[in-house]
Amino acid sequence: MAYFTAVLAESDDGYRALDIDVRDAADLDDLVDMMRNAGDAEGEAVAVVEHEDEWFAIVRVTVEDDVKVFLSDVHAVAESPFAELFVDYLDSRPDEYETEDGVPDAEPELDEDAEVEDADEDEVEMLDFDADAEWGGDADIFEDQGVASGELLEQTKTHASDPARVVAHIGETVGFADQLEATR
């Protein structure tokens, strides 16, 4: 399976691809410095890392110089050549984040009085290869750009085996989809 990386910077004319290889960064601070130095001081910069059919990571450096990172599957990233880049985010857990209403996410309570239906013996159970996928980082990475954290998490879960689809959705909303597609 192949890796895809791209770095885009916002300018007066929209986003443009930067001549930066994410693999050259020793760690996240190094990547962020590369993004800041190569991009426009007036705009944002976004780095995308995808592992075909498995996971994606996005790094965003805002105009205010804030750094936000989102990983679609921390376990898969930990096993990748990019683990060192995202080491500070590999142990972040979704339950550390609050939902939009300010209440921490919680597991749904089971209704002990509810009847459990027996599955048909002829029914074949489908395997869920992404059952242990666990996101990490900042789910609100593009909240101010129109991608709500709940929407990002739902897209990540629904399209776990197609990370490029999720990144394309984010790009369409934020405005870098065409430039990202041109770098593929």
Domain boundaries, given as residue ranges, for the chain: 3-93+131-183
pLDDT of residue 48 exceeding 60: yes
DSSP state of 55: E
For 11-30, how does the pLDDT look when each residue is reduced to its tens digit (9 = 90+)? Answer: 888 899 998 899 999 999 99
Position 75 scores a pLDDT of: 92
Please check whether residue 163 is in contact with residue 72, taking contact to mean a CB–CB distance below 8 angstroms.
Answer: yes
Residue 5 near residue 23 (C-beta atoms within 8 A): yes
DSSP 8-state assignment for residue 117:
P
How does pLDDT run across 95-130, given as a tens digit for each residue? 444 444 444 444 333 344 444 444 444 444 333 444
**Which two three-digit tokens encode residue 13?**
């004319």
Mean pLDDT, the chain, integer: 80
Distance set, CA 16 to CA 28, 50, 114, 169 (Å)? 21, 19, 55, 18
Position 112 scores a pLDDT of 43
Higher confidence at residue 106 or residue 57?
57
Where b means 16+ CB within 10 Å and e means fewer, 84-93 reads ebbeebeebe
What's residue 121's pLDDT? 41
